[in-house]
Amino acid sequence: MKKILVFLVGIFIFSAASTDAKGTDYLIRFGQMEKMSSGYELSRETTVIPFRLKETGFLFGFTVQHLRGEPFTGYQIIRLPSSPKQISGQPGSGEVSQMGQSFRSNPKVRSGFWSEAIWFEEGDPLGKWKIEIYLDNVLEKIIEFTVVPDERNYGDQGLTRRSTGDDSWNQN
């Protein structure tokens, strides 16, 4: 009986360690961002994002850091609660769903760190948004956040039209 208990405890410890291994390779953070001389940095972690247009300088987004500094391939899918009033930004790599409610960047090799700053444009929807972060073709994290009206009353609604990296979006 004691051998069976030790065996079961060993299996439990091994399985717990193997399921945790995926999440320990990366540190992923989300919230408000600022443009710094070295690029875009997270200034405040939050999942409530006020709708402020690009012209205000407001940015939000995420950072991904490989904890051992190893390169990785990353891309994102942004899912909106409804279609934006218009799709704008620079044409380039990536895909836009037919209904305009999801945007996928093309995979890109990152050198151990990835910082993605996003802004709103007129016509982007308020409500529950999601960003799926894929690293080395594995869905590593789903970030769910809420876009709320800005108390400073800049514009009526918005969309993440273009990212600050060279991941732009095309309409299908």
Predicted local confidence at residue 33, as pLDDT: 95
Strand-pairing partners, residue 96, are 103
Helix (H, G, I), strand (E, B) or coil at 17: helix
The letter for the amino acid at 59 is L
- In the chain, DSSP assigns E strands to 26-36, 39-45, 48-51, 59-66, 72-79, 95-96, 102-104, 108-110, 113-122, 127-135, 138-149, 158-163
Query: What's the pLDDT tens digit per position in 135-159?
Result: 999 999 999 999 999 977 544 444 3
Indicate whether 15 pLDDT > 80: no
Q: Tell me which architecture the domain covering 27-163 has in CATH.
A: Sandwich (2.60)
CB burial of 14-31 (b: ≥16 within 10 Å; e: otherwise) equals eeeeeeeeeeebbebebb
Whose CA is closest to 94, among 12, 4, 5, 162?
A: 162
Predicted local confidence at residue 36, as pLDDT: 87
Indicate whether 30 pLDDT > 60: yes
Q: Could you please report the per-residue DSSP string of 126-140?
A: PEEEEEEEEETTEEE
> Mean pLDDT in the chain?
77
Helix (H, G, I), strand (E, B) or coil at 134: strand
Question: Per-residue confidence at 113, pLDDT binned at 50, 70, 90?
Answer: very high
Query: What's the pLDDT tens digit per position in 54-87?
Result: 899 999 999 999 999 999 999 999 999 998 876 6
Indicate whether 111 pLDDT > 80: yes
**Residue 8 CB partners (closer than 8 Å, separation 6+):** none
Instruction: Give the residue carrying structure tokens 């940015």.
Output: 59
Q: Is the pTM of this model over 0.75?
A: no
Higher pLDDT, 83 or 131: 131
Read off the DSSP letter of residue 67.
Answer: T
Q: How does strand 48-51 pair with strand 138-149?
A: parallel
The mean per-residue pLDDT over the stretch 32-51 comes to 92
Q: Tell me, rounded to whole angstroms, the distance of Cα 115 from its chain centroid.
A: 9
Instruction: Give the residue carrying structure tokens 């193997």.
Output: 18
